[in-house]
Amino acid sequence: MRIAVTGGTGKLGRAVVAGLRKSGDQVFNLDTAAQRPDIRVDLTDYGQTLSALTAVDDKYSKIDAVVHLAAVPAPGVTTNAATFHNNITATYNVFAAAAAAGITNVVWASSETLLGIPFETPPPYIPLDEEYPARPEWHYALAKHLEETMAAQFCRWNPALKMIGLRFSNVMEPADYAEFPSFDADPQLRKWNLWGYIDARDGAQAVRKALDHNGTGVEIFIIANADTVMSRSSASLAAEVYPDVPVTRSLGEHETLLSIDKARRILGYEPEHSWRQQH
């Protein structure tokens, strides 16, 4: 496939671009980052976005699929309004331009923040899954919520369209793992996302599986690693930090509390990396 990856210069984007190219796909990084992207595109400009997803001289005459990762990557990077306006505008432009270009295979980065992070209001149950309504607590998460809502409407308008939103956990690279043992001293440090993370390489695997998935309509998946960032057992963390939150089933020793059961079942996703392999 010829695949346009927006934000391919970021931490997750680099892994996604590398993984797709390793699989034999022709991949084009659309970005505005300081490092040289394949094509420099301001995704908040609809005209530039539409042009990039149709044809670019000396690059391609057609795009088969889009992976949309470009965004202000987290709350607190800039002002709330700037984060919201950038992210929702860029995502609308990518979705609308893909539709206009006849692209029916779209995968984009949603976010674990829709689960209710930072859980100042405790989660409804553990492990968390995709079954309860989104609970955006930040302007960043509000934009992600509207992206998921928008995708559902694009799919309603075009029954041939497949749009898969991946609610990625906190993205990590192997170099980040040296810090993980320090989290053990205080479980409160990482309770904000139930001690979850996603290795960028496993995030790339999820993107590959989502692109290859044979289906139509919108689907949303939590994408995390199979374990937590902690050395302590998952059951003990839940009992200590969220004693009043129901635990709906028995937990593996270090099992993620951000359920990836749906991604395993439908996409065939299975994390292959863990910070524990680095120590």
Q: What is the maximal distance between C-alpha atoms in the chain?
A: 60
* Rounded-to-10 torsion of CA 212, 218, 224, 226: -70
Token pair listed for 215: 């289906």
Cβ atoms of residues 7 and 31 within 8 Å: yes
Residue holding tokens 């970021």?
A: 10
**In degrees, to the nearest 5, what angle opens at C-alpha 69 toward C-alphas 57 and 44?**
65
The type of residue at 41 is V
Rama region for 278: left / alpha / beta (φ>0; ψ in -120 to 50; rest): alpha
All residue ranges of the chain with pLDDT < 50 are: none
Give dist(CA 72, CA 162) in Å, integer: 24
Give dist(CA 87, CA 263) in Å, integer: 25
Give dist(CA 72, CA 83) in Å, integer: 6
Token pair listed for 226: 């199979």
Give dist(CA 139, CA 134) in Å, integer: 13
- Pairing type for strands 2-6 and 162-168 reads unpaired
Give dist(CA 118, CA 193) in Å, integer: 6
- Per-residue model confidence (pLDDT) at position 34: 65
Cβ atoms of residues 63 and 102 within 8 Å: no
Cβ atoms of residues 162 and 135 within 8 Å: no
Cβ atoms of residues 50 and 27 within 8 Å: no
Token pair listed for 145: 């919520």
- The model's pTM is 0.97
